[in-house]
Amino acid sequence: MKRFVAIARGRVQRVGYREHVYNETFERDISGYVMNLKNGEVEIVAEGSEEDLREFINEINIIQRPIAVKSFTIRWEEATGEYATFEIIRGDIQEETFERMDYAGDVLHSMDIKFDRMLDKQDQMLDKQDQMLGKQDQMLDKQDQMLGKQDQMLGKQDQMLGKQDQMLNKQDQTLQIARETKEEIVGLRSDTRRHLDDEFGDIRRELVSIKEALVRAGIQV
């Protein structure tokens, strides 16, 4: 077992330093005490295994707002076993009250600073979000313009298809007229052939009759 007596100097009173020292003994087998000195320093007496004590020193020799240990002197001794637990030796009620009020004010100040930093970061994030939304709006505007041009192209395409449909309809009408004309011509040719065949048949029959009459009259043909 070992023992050390340490003196912490700096911003160590009215900042919750004694509570911090006390809390660091919870998971370590350490006994002793911590107390404020009249000159503004803090005295720490601790007994335990050397391993626990060295870890303990690392955790209490700190600069961590609002605590700022600027000097930490240690004197090693042999353990006496006179302490059963680790405790905070407090001063008179007025001194302790002022210390707690100062510590509470410091904690609130630290919280305000942290809150301000959080708000600053939030503002930065919102600014970036606004920039991203602005870029997104620009992209959507460009997309709208592209869709507008696409609509115009589709409108022109519809017009061209409409004209093409009109041309195809006219072509269909022309083909229909051509088919009807062809049918009329074919029908006319058939009628003409039948008429000519009938005329030629009548002429043949008349010639045969004339020939027969001449033969009967003794006229050789």
pLDDT tens, per residue, the chain with 221 residues: 999 999 999 999 989 999 999 999 999 999 999 999 999 999 999 999 999 999 999 999 999 989 999 999 999 999 999 999 999 999 888 777 766 775 665 566 567 667 777 888 888 888 888 888 889 889 898 998 989 899 898 888 889 888 888 888 888 888 888 788 888 887 888 888 888 888 888 888 888 888 888 888 887 66
Q: Output the CA angle 212-215-217, nearest 5 degrees.
A: 115
Is residue 213 assigned to a domain?
Answer: no
Looking at residue 110, what is its pLDDT?
Answer: 62
Looking at residue 8, what is its pLDDT?
Answer: 98
Looking at residue 89, what is its pLDDT?
Answer: 93
Looking at residue 195, what is its pLDDT?
Answer: 82
Is residue 133 assigned to a domain?
Answer: no
Is residue 25 assigned to a domain?
Answer: yes
Looking at residue 169, what is its pLDDT?
Answer: 87
Is residue 207 assigned to a domain?
Answer: no
Looking at residue 105, what is its pLDDT?
Answer: 54
Q: For every residue of 184-205, which 3-state class applies, written as one string?
A: HHHHHHHHHHHHHHHHHHHHHH
Cα gap 40→45, rounded to integer Å: 17
Is residue 30 assigned to a domain?
Answer: yes
Catalytic residue set? 18, 36
Looking at residue 200, what is its pLDDT?
Answer: 82
Cα→Cα distances 214→55, 72, 128, 205, 210, Å: 161, 168, 126, 14, 6
Is residue 72 assigned to a domain?
Answer: yes
Cα gap 66→59, rounded to integer Å: 15
List the CATH number of the domain containing 40: 3.30.70.100
Is residue 42 assigned to a domain?
Answer: yes
Number of domains in the chain: 1
Looking at residue 107, what is its pLDDT?
Answer: 65
Provide the residue range defining the domain that includes 42.
2-90
Is residue 115 assigned to a domain?
Answer: no
Q: State pTM to two decimals.
A: 0.49
Amino acid in position 5: V
